[in-house]
């Protein structure tokens, strides 16, 4: 879609395409009309608008704090990486080569060696930390980087797949295999908690099968959530890299008995994709519904007046409420007099603001305010003196309710299936998550994907042993794994 | 210098090259040994290490808050810009063409149109906001972006000139020329206050001459500081763009009388160069001296013990002090027992931590702590109960003292000169800032630069009228302008 089409769609009335009619178009409509992002003139890339960036910045602030609490330090490495660095790890370059953007000319001259725009930074970081790590005292080395990355996408979608996106990438080095594995799982847990507690996304965590592994990893762990169309979205990954990068980049340390050993490493990341996850997991046909803990605006106050005399009083009361609530909560007072209250209601619903407060002459008379929750069609009056406390309580309730609703939706759309015909039929219609036995063979996994477009989303970390037969080939299996169609 | 040389230099003992011996080498030594940054394997780029990035993040947090207070919203535009966009503004492309890095291949194919890595984002932003701006109600549009930019540098220097750097770029659009001009000067003032109040940099502000103007601007305003070698460093710029971009990008709005008009624009930015400015303005032969308001660590506590029995007590006291001070101040307790207190003193001096606290058995006996200020060779004992308050006070004193010292240094190294011979001699040795008359001719300015390497740093915004004769050609001049050699 071009910029002009996007603009036209944004302006063609207030509504969005209903989810039941065309989910993909509903998603694009919401992202554009809620002004989270816009198409850019450069194919495959997007503009993150202030409202969308504020949401990402809130996510970033929470995660950054968690990374610090777990001992990580922020760092910034160059974006341009010599092609030869990527070639040092065979699987890595093979995995990323098709997605690379390459700088061949700079400063008016052709470069001796082409430089690629980082698709991820393992290679450039490891080439450098090899110089920083000498002794076991330098370990663990716990780094994180917030930056942009570029992966050429032929079928871009706003926030979900764009040629350039924002993310964080953690990169760590450890003295032992056990410590690196522990780190990879620790960060997986940080992501799980963030998804559940902040984004209100119920998630499943586990290992990836070999075919879905990060190029260069020994083991990839992932956090998976169900979207509103019952498909899976991977919202974060954590990789145990073993010594796959340590060897080619020669990252050695002197251990306590003065022996030289290779380090053990991890990397892990989440991206602006998380914004797409929040849109798809919680939104409805009126637009976004944002989890209060991440919402750029948690409460919007819409003053309502007819006569000028009312306006003065109402605005005064609205400003007083804002001032009272503001230190603790993110609140916006919509004072515009160029649009009607009804227009404002629609606009803030589209933008998913969790709570709306109306203050009109009748509210003033009765010493109350009127609250509407974005996730439920209920209006209630609250006595003005209790307003600040009640608003906080309602936000916490809404945060929990979003999570519970998403969890219920996932549970209702998850099946345990043993027969292949039933498996294929369910994936096709209505679709959802399926726990099914798998023999462990890549071939079989590939055939299932061919037949159904479903992939293995996670293999449980600590499965309850339950012997069974592979859903497709009837080969032996020790426990079920999670299948779904995914973004 | 290669990565290996950099490492070798970092490790060759604790000291740095004295400033008096080789200022440029002193600078590089300090940046590397204080672990602000490291060379990267990619020529011209650098790795910003955790300590350096923490300093930049502190700068970013303060500035971001100021931008919000002045009504700006953060946004993120794509890094890759079609070459044709740059060509739309003739001066702009002419100015930036020699510094561009160009992506010619992506996704395994040659691109139809080469994409450049943003050297600055006027073109991509204006191509998009043209779609967002329809009516006077959409104005002013006040955007800011934190991102990386790429400008190919043939003679890179850590933080001061690197092919990739981090910065913020503000981009605004207004209904009238006066409002845009006011905005450009408002942000210049935000930069001035930040430089003075946070970075402890006394600065001069003013207009640039045409030859030093941003490519595409009608007027460039700048903030200039004096470094420790008496040269000038531009630490921030704010541009009044007039309608130079509005016309080629067709950014029009309907005014209140329904007429279509072009917007008036500004752009403004500061970069990681500010880190270099702080190093050079305040550092000494022992290393960095960081202004407390920006220092990643404001106070380091070094516990001192000989016997194990002492260690327990001393550490307990040190931890108690840290806990007491920590909510308000950024404090680090150096508990390492693998290095001596003397080693720690040197290390934290190199890293420019404003205050050092020693706690030893004698301090415990006397109910005191011992404080050393990084900017003065004075140790003093403070009664323990007053510690928290006194530490805060000392930090504020140090912040002021750094500013005052830098101001005194600048004043001592600034001259008012009327004769060209004296001008040339002073610029050559000892060097410094010179207020001198200038006829206003670009030719004359160019000749002065040829003769002395000095350029016009700023032309005062509101000069006191004082007729005189150009220092070189004796042509008529209404007031002096500021000359200096600059980074």
Phi first, then psi: give them for residue B473, nearest 5 degrees. -105, -5
Give dist(CA A253, CA A222) in Å, integer: 30
Cβ–Cβ below 8 Å for B104 and A100: no
Tokens 């720690």, located at residue: B344
Model confidence pLDDT, tens digit, residues B375-412: 998 899 999 999 999 999 999 999 999 999 999 999 99
Q: What digits encode the pLDDT tens for the residues B47-61?
A: 999 999 999 999 999
Query: How far is the alpha carbon of A383 from chain B, nearest alpha carbon, in Å?
Result: 32
B116 Cβ under 8 Å from any chain A Cβ = no
Confidence category of residue B14, pLDDT binned at 50, 70, 90: low
Note whether B78 contacts A128, CB cutoff 8 Å. Answer: no
Q: Is the residue at A292 inside a domain?
A: no
Backbone angles phi, psi at B421, to 5 degrees: -65, -45
**A246 interfacial to chain B (CB closer than 8 Å):** no
pLDDT digits (tens, 9 = 90+) for A228-254: 999 999 999 999 999 999 999 999 999
In the predicted structure, residue B170 carries a pLDDT above the cut 60? yes
Q: Is residue A169 part of a domain?
A: yes
Whether residue B358 is found in the same domain as residue B227 = no
Do residue B358 and residue B418 come from a single domain? Answer: no
Considering the domain architecture, whether residues A371 and A227 belong to the same structural domain is answered as no
Q: Which of A75, A82, A148 sits opposite B53 (nearest CB)?
A: A75
> For residue B379, with 0-12 CB atoms within 10 Å meaning exposed, 13-18 middle and 19 or more buried, which class applies?
exposed
Contact A42 B148 (CB under 8 A): no
Q: Is the dihedral of CA B185, B191, B195, B197 positive or negative?
A: positive
Q: Name the nearest CA neighbour of B427 among B400, B408, B454.
A: B454
Average confidence (pLDDT) over A59-66: 98
Nearest to B292 by CA among B370, B194, B398, B191: B398
Residues B35 and B154 reside in one and the same domain:
yes
B77 pLDDT above the threshold of 80: yes
Query: Looking at the predicted structure, is the pLDDT value of residue B10 above 70?
Result: no
State whether A124 and B77 contact (CB < 8 Å): no
Indicate if the pLDDT at residue A314 is higher than 70: yes
For residues A90 and A137, give the distance between their C-alpha atoms in angstroms, rounded to a whole number. Answer: 30
Contact A128 B47 (CB under 8 A): yes
Where does a domain end: A397, A424, A442?
A: A397
Q: How confident is the model over A371-389, as pLDDT tens digits?
A: 999 999 889 999 999 999 9
Q: Considering only CB atoms, which chain B residues are within 8 Å of A46?
A: 78
Taking the Cβ of residue A38 and every Cβ of chain B, the question of whether any pair is shorter than 8 Å is answered with yes
The structural domain count of chain A equals: 3
Domain check: are A388 and A456 in the same one? Answer: no
Is the predicted pLDDT of residue B303 greater than 70, yes or no?
yes
Cα distance from A358 to chain B (closest Cα, Å)? 24
Q: What is the mean pLDDT of residues B242-257?
A: 97
What's the CATH number where B72 sits? 3.30.930.10
CB A372 within 8 A of CB A358: yes
What angle, rounded to 10 degrees, do the helices at A122-132 and B3-11 form? 30
Burial A153-178 (b: 16+ CB within 10 A, else e): beebbbbbbbbbbbbbbbbbbbbeee
3-state secondary structure of B103: strand
Q: What is the pLDDT of residue A9?
A: 52
Assess whether pLDDT exceeds 70 at residue B4.
Answer: no
Residue B58 lies in a domain: yes
Strand, coil or helix: what is B240? Answer: strand
pLDDT at B1: 44
Instruction: Check residues B249 and B309 and name the one with the higher pLDDT.
Output: B249
| Structure token pair of residue B88 | 């739309």
Residue B267 shares a structural domain with residue B222? yes
Asked if residue A407 has pLDDT above 70, the reply is yes
Output the pTM of the full model. Answer: 0.96
Which chain B positions have a beta carbon within 8 Å of A48's beta carbon?
Answer: 75-77
pLDDT in tens, A156-189: 999 999 999 999 999 999 999 999 999 999 999 9
DSSP code for B263? -
| Same-domain check for residues B98 and B234 | yes
Q: What are phi and psi of B195, to 5 degrees?
A: -60, -45
B118-134 pLDDT, tens digit per residue, is 999 999 999 999 999 99
Q: Which of B37, B40, B82, B107 to probe the A interface (max A CBs under 10 A)?
A: B107
CATH code, A368: 3.40.50.800
Q: Within an 8 Å CB–CB cutoff, is residue B383 touching chain A? A: no
Work out the average pLDDT over B153-178: 96
The size of the A-B interface in CB pairs under 8 A is: 168
Q: How far is B42 from chain A (nearest CA, A)?
A: 7
Domain for residue B470, yes or no? yes
Q: Please tell me the total number of residues recorded for chain B in this structure.
A: 487
Nearest CA to B41 out of A119, A97, A98, A249 is that of A249
A125 phi/psi in degrees, rounded to 5: -70, -45
Task: From A397, A423, A439, give the residue that closes a domain.
Answer: A397
Asked if residue B369 is part of any domain, the answer here is: yes
Query: Using CA atoms, how far apart are residues B103 and A301, in angstroms rounded to an integer?
Result: 47
> Does the pLDDT of residue B74 top 70, yes or no?
yes
One domain for residues A319 and A176:
no
- Pairwise CA distance, residues B146 & B139, whole Å: 22
Same domain, B260 and B309: no
Nearest CA in chain A to B5: A131
Domain-embedded: residue A389: yes
Q: What is the pLDDT of residues A93-136, one digit of tens each?
A: 999 999 999 999 999 999 999 999 999 999 999 999 999 999 99
Q: Which residues contact A376 (CB under 8 A, 6 or more apart)?
A: A401
Q: What is the pLDDT of residue A14?
A: 59
- Asked if B341 and B209 sit in the same domain, the reply is no
**Residue B95, in any domain of the structure:** yes
The answer on pLDDT for A147 being more than 90 is yes
Q: Is the pLDDT of residue A326 over 60?
A: yes
Structure tokens at A69: 């609490």
Token readout for A451 is: 């037949």
Query: Exposed e or buried b for every residue in B332-347, given b needs 16+ CB within 10 A?
Result: bbbeeeeeeeeebbbb
DSSP B216: T
- Tell me what pLDDT residue A1 has: 43
Tens digits of per-residue pLDDT, B402-422?
999 999 999 999 999 999 999
Rounded Cα–Cα distance for residues B110 and B103 (Å): 9
**How far is the alpha carbon of A434 from chain B, nearest alpha carbon, in Å?**
34
Q: Round the average pLDDT of chain B to a whole number and report it.
A: 95
Residue B403 in any domain: the answer is no
Per residue in B328-348, pLDDT (tens digit) is: 999 999 999 999 999 999 999
Rounded distance between C-alpha atoms, residue A274 and residue A290, angstroms: 12
User: Any CB–CB contact under 8 A between B365 and chain A?
Assistant: no
What's the DSSP call for residue A2? -
**Looking at residue A8, what is its pLDDT?**
53
β-pair type (B299-303, B331-333): parallel
- Confidence (pLDDT) at B137: 95
* Residue B124 touches chain A, beta carbons under 8 Å: yes
Q: Which ipTM was obtained for this model?
A: 0.95
> Do A141 and A177 belong together in one domain?
yes
Identify which has the larger pLDDT, B307 or B289: B289
Establish if B108 touches chain A: CB-CB under 8 angstroms.
Answer: yes
Task: Tell me, yes or no, whether A218 and A90 share the same domain.
Answer: yes
Cα(A437)–Cα(A422) distance, rounded to whole angstroms?
13
CB contact under 8 A, A40 and B7: no
What is the CA A348 to chain-centroid distance, rounded? 22
Selection from A408, A463, A409 nearest residue A436 by Cα: A463
- One-letter-per-residue 3-state SS of B307-355: CHHHHHHHHHHHHHHHHHHCCCCCEEECCCCCCCHHHHHHHHHHCCCCE
Partner A contacted by B99 (CB < 8 A): yes
% of chain B beyond a pLDDT of 70? 97
Residues B228-239 have pLDDT tens digits of: 999 999 999 999
Beta strands B433-437; B414-416: pairing state: parallel
Q: Is the pLDDT of residue B199 over 50?
A: yes
Q: Which domain holds residue B463?
A: 414-484
Q: Where residue B460 sits, what CATH number does that domain have? A: 3.30.110.30
The strand ranges marked E within A246-365 are 252-254, 260-262, 264-271, 299-303, 331-333, 355-359
* Contact between residue A288 and residue A295 where contact means Cβ atoms under 8 Å apart: no
User: What is the reported pLDDT for A378?
Assistant: 86
CB of A224 within 8 A of CB of A100? Answer: no
Measure Cα distances from B87 to A352, A464, B103 in Å. 40, 63, 16
Sign of CA dihedral A449, A452, A453, A458: negative
Residue among B434, B459, B460 nearest B448 (CA): B434
Backbone phi, psi, residue A167, to 5°: -160, 180
Residue labelled with tokens 């700006």: B72
Percent of chain A predicted with pLDDT > 70: 97
Q: What is the mean pLDDT of residues A405-410?
A: 98
């Amino acid at each position: 879609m071009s910029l002009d089409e996007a603009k036209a769609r944004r302006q063609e009335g207030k509504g969005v395409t209903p989810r039941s009619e065309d989910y993909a178009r509903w998603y694009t409509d919401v992202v554009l009309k809620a002004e989270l992002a816009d198409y850019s003139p450069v194919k495959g890339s997007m503009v993150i608008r202030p409202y969308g960036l504020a949401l990402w910045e809130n996510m970033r602030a929470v995660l950054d704090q968690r990374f610090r609490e777990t001992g990580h330090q922020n760092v910034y490495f160059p974006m341009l990486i010599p092609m030869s660095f990527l070639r040092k790890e065979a699987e890595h370059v093979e995995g990323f080569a098709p997605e690379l953007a390459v700088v061949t000319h700079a400063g008016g001259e052709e470069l001796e060696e082409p430089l690629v725009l980082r698709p991820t930074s393992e290679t450039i970081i490891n080439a450098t930390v090899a110089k920083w790590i000498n002794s076991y005292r330098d370990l663990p080395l716990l780094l994180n980087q917030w930056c942009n990355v570029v992966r050429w996408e032929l079928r871009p979608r706003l926030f979900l797949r764009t040629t350039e996106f924002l993310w964080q990438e953690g990169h760590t080095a450890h003295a032992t295999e056990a410590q690196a594995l522990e780190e990879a799982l620790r960060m997986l847990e940080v992501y799980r908690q963030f998804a559940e507690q902040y984004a209100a996304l119920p998630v499943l965590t586990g290992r990836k099968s070999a075919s879905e592994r990060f190029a260069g990893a020994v083991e990839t762990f992932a956090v998976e959530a169900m979207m509103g169309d019952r498909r899976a979205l991977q919202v974060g990954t954590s990789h145990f890299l073993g010594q796959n990068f340590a060897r080619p980049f020669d990252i050695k340390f002197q251990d306590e008995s003065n022996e030289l050993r290779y380090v053990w490493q991890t990397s892990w990341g989440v991206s602006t994709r998380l914004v797409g996850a929040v849109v798809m997991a919680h939104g409805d046909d009126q637009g976004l519904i944002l989890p209060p803990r991440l919402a750029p605006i948690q409460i919007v106050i819409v003053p309502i007046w007819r006569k000028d005399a009312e306006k003065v009083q109402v605005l005064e009361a609205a400003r007083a409420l804002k001032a009272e609530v503001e230190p603790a909560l993110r609140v916006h007072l919509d004072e515009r007099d160029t649009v009607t209250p009804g227009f404002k209601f629609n606009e803030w619903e589209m933008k998913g603001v969790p709570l709306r407060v109306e203050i009109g002459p009748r509210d003033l008379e009765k010493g109350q305010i009127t609250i509407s929750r974005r996730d439920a069609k209920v209006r209630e009056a609250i006595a003005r003196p209790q307003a600040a406390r009640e608003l906080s309580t309602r936000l916490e309730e809404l945060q929990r309710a979003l999570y519970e609703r998403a969890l219920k939706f996932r549970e209702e759309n998850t099946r345990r299936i043993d027969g292949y015909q039933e498996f294929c039929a369910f994936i096709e219609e209505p679709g959802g998550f399926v726990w099914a036995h798998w023999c462990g063979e890549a071939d079989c996994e590939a055939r299932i994907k061919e037949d159904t477009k479903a992939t293995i989303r996670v293999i449980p970390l600590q499965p309850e042993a339950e012997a069974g037969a592979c859903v497709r080939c009837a080969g032996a299996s020790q426990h079920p794994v999670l299948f779904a169609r995914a973004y």
